[in-house]
Amino acid sequence: MRALMPANHTGPESLPAGEQAMALLLRPVRHAVNNLSMVMNANLETAVPQLPEGERVTKQVARARDAAVAYDNLVRGFLSLGREEGVKGVLAGRLLRELMPLLALAAGGPLELEVADAAKAVQRRTPTLEGALILAASGARDLPAGPLPPLRLEGLRLVLGWPLPPAARRSLEDLGVGIEAAGEGVAILLPPG
């Protein structure tokens, strides 16, 4: 377990003890969550087909399996924000599908992704790009109550139906990401990978 601790695990002295503890435990917790999620998902996935069809317990176990998958996607995405920065190419559609649980939380409600073309590769600067996109999604919180406009992915162009918060705009500009007006919202031009 010691190998999973970051080398500078004490953290800045100015942080409260709870935040220092979170920084200290980020890597080992991420590792433990990955292992626990893998065990839960694998066991639930193999259990469901063995249960009698239509039975109440089968439906309950199937719902537990679906919740475990949703939990896994949410927690893995959140914990990945604490990773050291790295750059790799990934398909734009995959990147956004992985981020959707966090984007919906940041937006303050259910959020859908419409995909016209997901096969373009994006240069993924982890966790900086993900953080900037989460900040961008948070702009939806300023919209009037009601259903949120969907995100639209058109190749490397991600269209949001709301304006960018200033922190999101700064983060995206710092990454060299293009931003252009798109109706009542903006289009983020994801970096090609």
Least confident of 39-43, 122-126, 165-169: 122-126
Q: What is the pLDDT of residue 61?
A: 93
Instruction: Please tell me the pTM assigned to this model.
Output: 0.79
What mean pLDDT, rounded, does the chain reach? 88
Kindly provide the b/e burial profile for residues 49-80, where b requires at least 16 CB atoms within 10 angstroms of the residue's own CB: eeeeeeeeebeebeeebeebeebbbebbbebe
User: Is-contact 92 128, C-beta < 8 A?
Assistant: no
pLDDT of residue 79 exceeding 90, the answer is no
Closest CA to 137 of 72, 188, 84, 73: 188
Stretch 51-76: mean pLDDT: 92
Task: Please report, for the chain, how many H helices and E strands are present, in that order.
Answer: 5, 7
180 DSSP β-pair partners:
187
Q: What is the pLDDT of residue 5?
A: 39
Predicted confidence band of residue 125 (pLDDT cuts 50, 70, 90): confident
Stretch 106-129: mean pLDDT: 91
Which class would CATH give 86-189?
Answer: alpha beta
